[in-house]
């Protein structure tokens, strides 16, 4: 009987040790998975943000040194918020899908990511994570002296459209049509409102309209809008130019070019 009791106890200890090892292994695997997801999401977000910063730097004529310093700060800020940002992505994509997105391809998953990217710009909580990063970058690029572009409301004189049919009518009736794709929760979009309003006032012979992604996703998808603000310029019913991101100088240049 004693031998049986000893054997049973030993077996229980072995089983318990195996269970603890299994739980520990699962825990380590989960941490590795989370770490991997964060690294993949960081690559996706960092690539997009750095692209926007470089575009802003060119528009603001910032020095190479200032631009590099700003990019470094942005990367640090993203890293500080990476856990919260990753939660948004992993709610939609598996770790395997995130890896495929990093390797990006022009297939079904790529299309899914583009749609997801557009929907993120309508997510107020998500945009709130990036607003301070964006504002800090703007301040840094301008040497901390120039004022950050104001976030203003769009002019009520700008017509809102949400369908291809509406756009077709406008391009038939007007030689040049400028279309701004935006979201109310997107800080750069609101910053662009001021320069866009000014262009409307100064170019009465051009038709300026706006497209809110919250109500016109199909139109955004048709014209491959994957980052906002995005401005598309149509001339003689054909898409002839575009400006992606906050770049009012480039936008003004193209409007003058096609007017």
Asked if the structure places residue 15 within a domain, the reply is no
Average pLDDT over residues 218-223: 85
Instruction: Report yes or no on 4 lying in a domain.
Output: no
Q: Give the pLDDT confidence of 163-190 residue by residue, as tens digits.
A: 999 999 999 999 999 999 988 777 788 8
Same structural domain, 89 and 167: no
- The answer on 198 and 116 residing in a single domain is no
Residue 122 lies in a domain: yes
Query: Are residues 241 and 183 part of one domain?
Result: yes
Count of domains in the chain? 2
Tens digit of each residue's pLDDT (9 = 90 or more) over 116-162: 765 665 566 776 677 677 767 766 776 655 556 666 778 888 999 98
Shared domain for 52 and 124, answered yes or no, is yes
Which pLDDT band, with edges at 50, 70 and 90, does 255 fall under? very high
Which of 141, 170, 185 is the last residue in one of the domains? 141
Are residue 236 and residue 174 in the same domain, yes or no? Answer: yes
Residue 233, pLDDT score? 94
Distance CA 38, CA 35 (A): 5
Q: Is pLDDT above 90 for 231?
A: yes
| Residues 131, 41 within the same domain | yes
| 41 and 133 both lie in a single domain | yes
3-state secondary structure of 51: helix
CATH number at residue 246: 3.40.30.10
Q: Tell me: do 41 and 121 sit in the same domain.
A: yes
Flag whether pLDDT at 239 surpasses 90: yes
In a domain, residue 56? The reply is yes
Examine residue 183 and state whether it is found in any structural domain, yes or no. yes
Judge if 93 and 191 occupy the same domain: no
Examine residue 24 and state whether it is found in any structural domain, yes or no.
no
User: 234 with 177: CB under 8 angstroms?
Assistant: yes
214 within domain boundaries: yes
The answer on 112 and 36 residing in a single domain is yes
pLDDT band for position 47 (cuts 50, 70, 90): confident
Question: Which residue segment(s) compose the domain that 180 sits in?
Answer: 159-258
Regarding whether 167 and 88 lie in a shared domain, the answer is no
Q: Flag whether 147 is in a domain.
A: no
Last residue of a domain, one of 141, 171, 202: 141
Burial of residue 30, with CB atoms counted within 10 A of its CB: 0-12 exposed, 13-18 middle, 19 or more buried: exposed
Distances (CA, A) of 170 to 2, 156, 159, 218, 240: 93, 18, 11, 18, 15
Tens of pLDDT, residues 111-129:
676 667 656 655 667 766 7
Question: pTM of this prediction?
Answer: 0.51
Clarify whether residues 124 and 196 are in a common domain.
no
C-alpha 45, offset from chain centre: 8
């Amino acid at each position: 009987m004693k031998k049986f009791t000893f054997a049973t106890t030993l077996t229980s200890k072995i089983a318990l040790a195996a269970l603890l090892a299994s739980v520990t292994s699962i825990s380590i695997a989960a941490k590795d998975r989370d770490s991997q997801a964060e690294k993949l999401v960081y690559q996706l977000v960092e690539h997009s943000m750095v692209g926007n910063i470089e575009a802003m730097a060119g528009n603001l004529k910032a020095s190479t040194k200032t631009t590099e310093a700003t990019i470094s700060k942005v990367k640090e800020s993203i890293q500080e918020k990476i856990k919260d940002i990753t939660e948004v992505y992993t709610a939609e994509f598996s770790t395997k899908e995130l890896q495929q997105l990093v390797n990006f391809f022009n297939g079904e998953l790529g299309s899914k990511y583009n749609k997801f990217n557009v929907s993120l710009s309508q997510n107020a909580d998500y945009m709130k994570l990036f607003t301070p990063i964006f504002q800090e970058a703007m301040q840094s690029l301008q040497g901390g002296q120039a004022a950050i572009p104001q976030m203003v409301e769009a002019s009520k004189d700008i017509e809102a459209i949400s369908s291809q049919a509406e756009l077709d009518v406008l391009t038939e009736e007007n030689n040049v049509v400028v279309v701004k794709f935006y979201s109310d929760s997107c800080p750069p979009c609101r910053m662009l409102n001021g320069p866009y309003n000014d262009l409307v006032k100064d170019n009465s012979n051009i038709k300026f309209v706006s497209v809110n992604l919250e109500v016109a996703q199909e139109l955004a998808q048709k014209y491959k809008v994957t980052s906002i603000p995005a401005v598309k310029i149509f001339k003689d019913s054909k898409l002839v130019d575009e400006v992606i991101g906050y770049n009012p100088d480039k936008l003004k240049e193209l409007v003058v070019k096609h007017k």
